[in-house]
C-alpha cells in the first residue's frame, strides 16, 4: 500500500536521497500510521473493556500513543525540511532526530504508565471475559502492526530516518505485547488463572526496552556520533587521488541532519609547492567533495618536507617511539626548525581513545626518547585522539 501511495503522491518517489522526497515519505508514512493506529486503538479498547483485560486496554492505549508519535514525526519532518536561516545557518535537519527522541520518550512514558496499572491489577485483579471478539481484534492487530513494522523499517533504511526506525522498533514490540495479551486470555479461558497483571508487566518491559533502544538511535546523532567508515574512506580516497596531495589527516565530519554534513580535513602537500598552486588544489578538492557527498567542505593545506635526510631520521625514530605507545598511533604535521638552543621538532600525533597513558605522559615519553638519541633536539608535541 505504501509503495502504491508513494507512486501516486510522491514525485520522483525512488530518489530517496532527495530532501523533498524524504520529507514526503515521512509525512506519508506518518499519516498511514495515524489512521491505522487509531483504528487499532478503537478496536482494542472495545475488546479490552468487554473482556475486562488490563493488558488489552494497555495495548490499546499504546496504539493511541503510537498515533500521537506519528503526529510528532510528521512535525519533525516538516521542521527538518525548513531552509537555513540567520539563527540556524546549517539548517534545521536535526529536528528529525529530536522528533525521534520525543517519540522514544513517549514510548518510555507509556510503558511506565502500563507498568503502574499492571502492578495494581496483580493485587486487585478483575474478572476476565475471553470472548471470540477479543481474539479476533487482537489477532488482526498483530497483522496490522507487522505491516507497519515492515514498511517503516524498509523506508526508514532507504531514507535513513531516525523517527521511522523508532516507529518500526515500537511496532515490533507491539506485536509481542499483543501476543502476550492473547496469552493472558488463553490462560484464563483454559485454566481459569488470571495472569493479566503479570502479562501487563511483561508488556511494560518489552515496550520499555523498545523505547530505550529507539532513544539511543535518535540521541546518538544529536550527541555527535562517528560517521560511517565507508563515508570516511570515500573522502580519503578522493583527496588522495589529487595530484600533489601526499596524505590526509584531521578529518572531521559534523552532522546537522540526514544529508547535511560539514566536513573539514588537513591535506599534506610538498613544502616547495607555491601558495597559489596549493590554494587551487584546495579549491578543486572542496568542490569535488561537496558535489560528491553533498557536504560543506573546508580543506586546510599542511606543508611536508620529506626530502630532508635528517628529518627522515627523526621521523623514523618518532615512529618507533609511537609503536611503544600504541600500534595505532600516527604522526602528522611534522616540521623541523633550527634555533639557537638547537633543533626543534614540531608535530602532532593521533592516539586511540582508551589508552592508559595520559597526554602529558605520552608527550614526555616521546620527548625523552628523542633527547636520549639526539641530545640537542627538543620537541613541541600536540596529542589528538584518533577518530577515523
Q: What is the 3-state secondary structure (H, E, C) of 219-284?
A: HHHHHCCCCCHHHHHHHHHHHHCCCCCCEEEEEEEEECCCCCEEEEEEEEEECCCCHHHHHHHHHH
For residues 212-221, give the mean pLDDT: 87
Per cent of the chain over pLDDT 90 is 30
Q: Average per-residue pLDDT in the chain?
A: 86
Beta bridge pairs of residue 36: none
Residue 170 has pLDDT above 70, yes or no: yes
Residue that finishes a domain, picked among 223, 256, 271:
223
- pLDDT per residue as tens digits for the range 360-384: 999 999 999 999 999 989 999 999 9
Which residue bears the cell 608535530? 347
CA dist., res. 90 & res. 145, Å (int): 36
Residue 307 has pLDDT above 70, yes or no: no
**Residue 129: what pLDDT?**
65
Instruction: Identify whether residues 46 and 144 lie together within a single domain.
Output: yes
Name the grid cell of 195: 495472569
Instruction: Identify whether residues 42 and 169 lie together within a single domain.
Output: yes
372: buried, middle or exposed (CB in 10 Å: 19+, 13-18, 0-12)? exposed
In total, how many domains does the chain have? 3
Instruction: Identify whether residues 318 and 204 lie together within a single domain.
Output: no
Instruction: Identify whether residues 270 and 147 lie together within a single domain.
Output: no
- pLDDT per residue as tens digits for the range 173-194: 778 777 777 787 788 888 888 8
**Residue 17: what pLDDT?**
75
CA dist., res. 214 & res. 149, Å (int): 13
198: containing domain: 2-223
Domain at 34, CATH number: 1.20.1510.10
Identify the residue with better confidence: 185 or 321: 321
For residues 62-79, give the mean pLDDT: 82
Residue 125 has pLDDT above 70, yes or no: yes
Confidence of residue 347 (pLDDT cuts 50, 70, 90): very high
Confidence of residue 284 (pLDDT cuts 50, 70, 90): very high
**Residue 140: what pLDDT?**
86
Instruction: Identify whether residues 280 and 333 lie together within a single domain.
Output: no
* Cβ-based neighbours of 182, under 8 Å, separated by 6 or more: 135, 138, 139
> Lowest-pLDDT range, 21-35, 144-158, 184-198?
184-198
Residue 53 has pLDDT above 80, yes or no: no
The pTM for the full model equals 0.72
Amino acid at each position: 500500500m505504501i509503495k502504491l501511495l508513494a507512486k501516486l503522491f510522491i514525485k520522483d518517489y525512488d530518489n530517496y536521497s532527495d530532501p523533498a522526497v524524504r520529507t514526503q515519505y515521512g509525512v506519508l508514512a506518518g499519516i498511514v500510521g495515524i489512521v491505522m493506529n487509531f483504528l487499532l486503538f478503537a478496536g482494542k479498547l472495545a475488546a479490552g473493556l468487554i473482556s475486562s483485560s488490563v493488558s488489552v486496554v494497555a495495548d490499546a492505549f499504546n496504539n493511541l500513543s503510537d498515533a500521537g508519535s506519528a503526529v510528532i514525526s510528521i512535525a519533525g519532518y516538516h521542521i527538518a525540511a525548513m531552509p537555513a536561516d540567520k539563527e540556524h545557518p546549517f539548517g534545521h535537519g536535526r529536528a528529525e532526530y529530536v522528533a525521534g527522541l520525543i517519540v522514544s520518550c513517549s514510548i518510555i512514558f507509556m510503558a511506565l504508565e502500563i507498568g503502574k496499572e499492571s502492578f495494581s491489577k496483580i493485587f486487585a485483579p478483575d474478572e476476565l471475559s475471553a470472548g471470540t471478539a477479543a481474539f479476533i481484534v487482537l489477532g488482526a492487530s498483530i497483522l496490522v502492526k507487522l505491516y507497519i513494522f515492515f514498511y517503516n523499517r524498509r523506508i526508514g533504511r532507504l531514507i535513513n530516518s531516525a523517527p521511522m526506525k523508532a516507529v518500526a522498533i515500537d511496532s515490533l514490540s507491539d506485536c509481542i505485547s499483543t501476543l502476550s495479551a492473547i496469552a493472558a486470555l488463553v490462560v484464563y479461558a483454559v485454566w481459569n488463572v488470571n495472569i493479566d497483571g503479570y502479562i501487563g508487566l511483561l508488556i511494560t518491559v518489552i515496550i520499555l526496552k523498545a523505547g530505550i533502544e529507539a532513544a539511543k538511535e535518535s540521541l546518538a546523532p544529536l550527541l555527535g556520533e562517528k560517521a560511517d567508515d565507508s563515508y570516511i574512506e570515500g573522502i580519503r580516497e578522493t583527496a588522495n587521488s589529487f595530484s600533489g596531495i601526499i596524505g590526509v589527516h584531521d578529518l572531521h565530519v559534523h552532522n546537522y541532519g540526514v544529508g547535511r554534513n560539514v566536513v573539514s580535513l588537513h591535506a599534506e602537500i610538498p613544502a616547495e609547492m607555491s601558495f597559489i598552486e596549493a590554494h587551487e588544489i584546495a579549491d578543486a578538492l572542496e568542490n569535488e567533495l561537496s558535489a560528491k557527498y553533498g557536504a560543506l567542505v573546508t580543506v586546510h593545506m599542511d606543508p611536508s618536507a620529506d626530502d630532508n635526510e635528517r628529518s627522515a631520521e627523526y621521523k623514523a625514530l618518532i615512529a618507533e617511539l609511537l609503536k611503544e605507545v600504541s600500534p595505532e598511533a600516527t604522526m602528522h604535521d611534522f616540521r623541523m626548525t633550527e634555533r639557537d638552543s638547537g633543533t626543534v621538532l614540531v608535530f602532532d600525533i593521533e592516539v586511540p581513545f582508551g589508552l592508559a597513558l595520559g597526554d602529558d605522559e605520552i608527550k614526555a615519553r616521546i620527548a625523552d626518547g628523542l633527547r636520549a638519541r639526539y641530545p640537542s633536539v627538543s620537541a613541541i608535541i600536540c596529542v589528538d585522539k584518533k577518530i577515523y
